[in-house]
Each structure stands twice: as structure tokens, then as C-alpha cells.
Amino acid sequence: MKSTTIQAVAAIVLCIAATSANAKDIRKESQFLESVAGKKLESGGTWLVITPDGKIEGVGRNDVKIKGAWVWNKKFWCRNVVAGQKKFPEDCLEVSIDGNQVKFVRKKGKGDAIVYTIAN
């Protein structure tokens, strides 16, 4: 079980280098709601849906359930996440979008990044 949780966490926080001149920073909640919320996001063996009403739901590798909550704070997407039995500390992330690729950068844009593909 511990290995499964670690794999799910790795999928969430893996650093993927993906920079593009066409990427658009999302700095307002209204932009986030329009571009990302309610859509299925996939990365590796993990998928998430960030709902417009402040919830995060998904499944990580090895069928680990991912749940959480989010709020918009100034220009950051702030979230609390639990993957399986592992609770992660609250973090605020910088968000950008390039076509169907959404990049989240931890620690207010100064940490690791993960890129999700919008599946729908």
C-alpha cells in the first residue's frame, strides 16, 4: 500500500519540462474555471477532475483514490490533496495552459512542475 501511495504521489509531483512560447498563464479564477475546471486531466497513470465547486477527484496509479479541495487565492490555485492514506501539505500552484496541456508549478511557481493533458 505504501508503494502504491508513493507512486501516486510521484505522478502528481513529477517534474516534466514543458515550456512553450504559446503557453498562457492563468492568473484569475474565472480563467481557471473556463479552461480547466470540470475537465478530465491525465498524466501517466493518473487522472483528475477539478470541479468548479472546489473539489478534486481522481485516481492515481494502482487505483489509488485521490481526493481534495481547492480555492483560488490571488493568482494561484491552492489545494489540499489526499492520495490513498497519504495527506499532502497544502500548496499553492502557478497554472498555465498551452492548447490541451495544463502545467501546474508547485510552491507558487518555484517548485516542481507537472503537466496534465485535457482528455475531454
CA distance 75 to 93: 9
Cβ atoms 103, 93 nearer than 8 A: no
CA distance 116 to 54: 18
Within 8 A by CB and 6+ apart from 14, the residues are 43, 44, 112, 114
* Statement: the pTM of the whole predicted model exceeds 0.85: no
Confidence of residue 21 (pLDDT cuts 50, 70, 90): low
For 57-111, how does the pLDDT look when each residue is reduced to its tens digit (9 = 90+)?
999 988 999 999 999 999 999 999 999 999 999 999 999 999 999 999 999 999 9
Q: C-alpha angle with apex 83: 91 to 92, nearest 5 degrees?
A: 10
- Cell numbers for 110: 518555484
Q: Is the pLDDT of residue 34 over 60?
A: yes
> For the chain, what are the domain ranges?
2-118
The pLDDT score that the predictor gives to residue 2 is 55
Q: Using CA of residue 101, residue 104, residue 66, residue 79, what is the dihedral sign? A: negative
Which option is the CATH number for 2-118: 2.40.160, 2.60.120, 2.40.128, 1.10.287? 2.40.128
